[in-house]
Structure 1
Amino acid sequence: MKKPLLQSVFVLLLALAAGSAVAQITPKAYAPENLRTLSVQDQTRVISLEYSEQSRGRRIPDDQLRFYLDQVNRSNWTFSRIKQDIAQSLGGNNGGWNPNPPPVSGRTIVCESKSGDARRCTPPWRGPSRLVRQMSNSRCEEGTTWSSQDGLITVWKGCRGEFAAATTSSTGTIRCESSDGRGRTCRTPWRGHSRLTRQLSSAACVEGRSWQSQQGQVYVGNGCRAEFAARDGGSIGGNSGYTITCSSDDNRRRTCAYDARQGRPILLQQLSNNSCREGYSWGYAGNQVWVDRGCRGRFGPR
């Protein structure tokens, strides 16, 4: 065999070997449309491979993987549906993931935590806010790196996001999820208590054990992930829609003007980590609401 021919064969063998190595490094995610025909282990493998392929080698976040497994086994999501959702999560949210984000309408603002420091932003709307687009590499997770209250958004730990006024979905529900078994509190845009409408987790969602509600809030824990709606068809902010926010800054007592014609106020939503208990850290006298001991809350008529 002549030398040029030997060189050609050698180059061809190298190319084949390189192609084989690349195939081993970046395997393709092949799966049937109906992923329920696979074991959970194989479902995990092909979903993880698909995410890695689309994200150029990144690992799928644990909560996103759990969400897809739930959708496969509870809502019959197909492999094509998951591929499409992965593409949307990577392409439209800068790598951040927000399952089934509601459409953005009206105004939005950007709030950014620079150098990891906490920052407060004042939106041009009243009431709580929602994250519509993560713009940072640092994860934006409500309660962990950002929070909102009436007329204020706070971000920290490098979260940079675009926010809009919070609204209910077209079905009048919100989703609240306990990730890695940790407790989480979600604000609701309706008054009063909430009811569970659809469990999304394999962990049981039992009221009083792994979830509970109060005025304007839902708390979940022990891995419960579910959708909630107003228990009694409650409206946002009561019949009149009149609410005020009163804050005890630096644990000092403060009074806030309140329209007595609206009727006696109640605590609609606690916005602080410190407890708001009537007679102890908040109260009402004449045409004023007072707060103390770090209580910060939203108040309105019953």
Structure 2
Amino acid sequence: MRAIGGWVVGVVLVGLASGLLGLASPVRAQSNAPVRCVSNDGHYARCAVPWRYVELYKQESKAACVRGESWGVDRGTLWVDRGCRGLFGPADRGGHGDRHDARGGWRPGPGWDRQISLQCDSNKKKYQMCQVDVGRNGRVRLGRQLSDARCTEGYSWGWNRAGVWVAHGCRGQFLVDRRW
């Protein structure tokens, strides 16, 4: 009986020591503590948060942090892009004049879905990114070439959700069909 009791005490002491040393398995608690989310080198990143509605508490980057353009919430996950870095925390449901779609994600206000004309120039044949939020269902096309260098999609120009890029001397007027 004494050996069994000593064994139980030993197991309890090992369990306590493991917990104190941080070896115990982590528990994801519902917390209101801010979460830091970082877009390193302008790249898109996702951060797990325990809240459905999120707001930017403090911007920590020189790059702009604009909801729907360089940060947002999609399917319950916070995302950042274009160099946005900051502390994010829980927001009141639908607070701050924001609109949410049926899935609880942020949605831009009226007038967002529209066509924008954007000039983007590759000076000295260098790569250039011209930022504009195209939206998840948007499209871009070359409206008018302004350079002697040929503008070929996929080689000297292209686009992604963050905007239009040009290279190899391409200069052009681009038509951006913003669609959420």
Higher strand proportion:
2
Query: Could you state the TM-score of these two structures normalised by the residue count of structure 2?
Result: 0.36
Higher helix proportion:
1
Query: Could you state the TM-score of these two structures normalised by the residue count of structure 1?
Result: 0.23
